[in-house]
A and B are shown apart, each in its own frame.
Chain A
Amino acid sequence: MTWNCEHIEARLSDYLDGLLAPDERHEFDAHVNGCEICTPLLSSVSHLLSDLHSLEAIPEPPRLAYNILNLTLGPRAVKKGWLGGFSWLRLLASPRFAYSAVSLVATVLILLTASGVSFRKKPKLADFSPANIYRNANSQAHLAYARSTKFVSDLRVVYEIQSRLSKDNELPTEPESTVPQSAPGKNPGSTDGTKPSAPRQQNRANGIGREIEVLAEEIPVVSLKLSAPLLGRRIP
């Protein structure tokens, strides 16, 4: 018997499940290989089965089993007596509670540290009174403000010095090679022991020193430390 498309469609699942006899399978293959209708049909159903078998089970809602047990066995038994009072302690074992507790402790520690409570020395009970906490927090806030102001001023001084130094470096100076090889009235090759560029460098060093002095006058407290070593530097 030669199979037609109706036979193929009727026995498609038997073929895919491997339930056809060898001669039936031969007939099946012979028809499908030469049929433009049955080839894509077999292909699509075969791929569908692969897809269906690859699907994973859908996770049930977490409360479902609990609800079923409540419906069938009744509400969960609650421990009576004084031991029942400790049942809430089981909540402490949950990761959610542990994370919350750790973050809460960290937040409190950060707030207390920011409020000026020092844990280096043993904290006293009086440190936690509202007045002391306010006073400490106030002084901490002012201290933080002063430090930040000082930091900004330091940065400003350093920036000013750097910019002026770079400005001076950019001034056109005559390189050694541009110094005239011979001066009028002097014999070529003779030297009088002077360096033509030395006065100019000295002038530059003196100029930087003056600028730092001006800066020190403008910002006396902050720039004192910075200007001292620079003022002491002199190019010989």
Chain B
Amino acid sequence: MAPCNFWGKLVTVAGFEADDTLEQDAQLVQQCLQGDGSAWEELVRRHTRRIFNICYRFTGNGTEAEDLSQDVFLRVYKTLGSYRSAHGGFATWMTSVTRNLLIDHYRRTKRDRITDSLDDAMPVVENKESAGRRPDQQLLLGELSHQVQTALTKLSPELREAVILRDLQQLDYNEIRQVLDVPEGTVKSRINRGRIELARILHQMGVRPS
């Protein structure tokens, strides 16, 4: 089987677009720091969907994702003065803030999920049933997207965040290293293990590759 070389090209193309985005973000941040409310509105408009998607893919819950997205922007707004463009792009910095809040939220709600661990021990058929229990999610997402979401929530948070950032948010290894604050080797290892584990879970759920 031929390797997927398109991924490298995709990152390269995205990189050209990212340069433009980086400049615009940096300019908007400067205007925000000078008290320009419309610049902040523009930043919110540009990044709301991305942050909401990270939160949703991590938590698997629309309401929690919405609340967490608001918390992210609130924290970014309060700490905007501490952002230094020399340390990386605004989007990467914001993703890092998001990730920290998501991990905090994960630890805070860990106790609530103890009962959910019983569901994890259920056989595969039960997983299918639980996937069909939330019609609101199925309406919001497509079928494949919903199945992927169900499988993602069964991954450990370390592997989950790595796969989300790499394969759903299409960040490169260096950006993920900055966000997760771990060595690049660890990033690669987590992405690799996350993909294999996710494929295995989807296979167990009976999802056939499209």
Contacts and interface: CB of A to CB of B under 8 A. Distances in A.
Pairing of A with B: yes
Interface of A: 9-20, 25, 29, 32, 41-61, 64-65, 67-69, 71-73
Interface in B157-200: 163, 167-168, 170, 188, 191-192, 195-196, 198-200
B192 A65 contact: no
B159 to A, nearest CB: 12
Given A51-B210, A58-B53, A46 B144 contact: no
Nearest to A73: B37
Given A9-B196, A65-B45, A67-B70, A32 B1 contact: yes
B123 interface: no
A18 B8 contact: yes
Contacts of B188: 13-14
Top 5 A-B pairs, shortest CB-CB distance: A47-B209, A13-B192, A60-B52, A18-B5, A52-B167
B66 A61 contact: yes
Contacts, number: 128
Contact of A60 (B8, B48, B203): B48
Interface string B59-73: 000100010011001
A56 to B, nearest CB: 8
A55 B144 contact: yes
Interface string B23-62: 0000000000000010011001100111011001000001
Given A9-B192, A17-B8, A46-B1, 19 more contacts: A13-B192, A18-B7, A44-B199, A44-B200, A45-B195, A46-B4, A49-B167, A55-B145, A56-B145, A58-B53, A58-B145, A60-B52, A61-B62, A64-B70, A68-B48, A69-B40, A71-B74, A72-B77, A73-B41
Max count, chain B CB within 10 A of own CB: residue among A11, A50, A54, A65: A65
B148 interface: yes
A48 B195 contact: yes
A19 B8 CA distance: 9
Given A45-B196, A60-B69, A64-B69, A13 B3 contact: no
A68 B4 contact: no
A87 B7 CA distance: 50
Contacts of B155: none
A58 to B, nearest CB: 5
B131 to A, nearest CB: 16
A69 B44 contact: yes
10 contacts: A9-B192, A13-B195, A15-B3, A32-B1, A45-B195, A53-B170, A56-B142, A57-B49, A68-B70, A72-B74
B195 A49 contact: yes
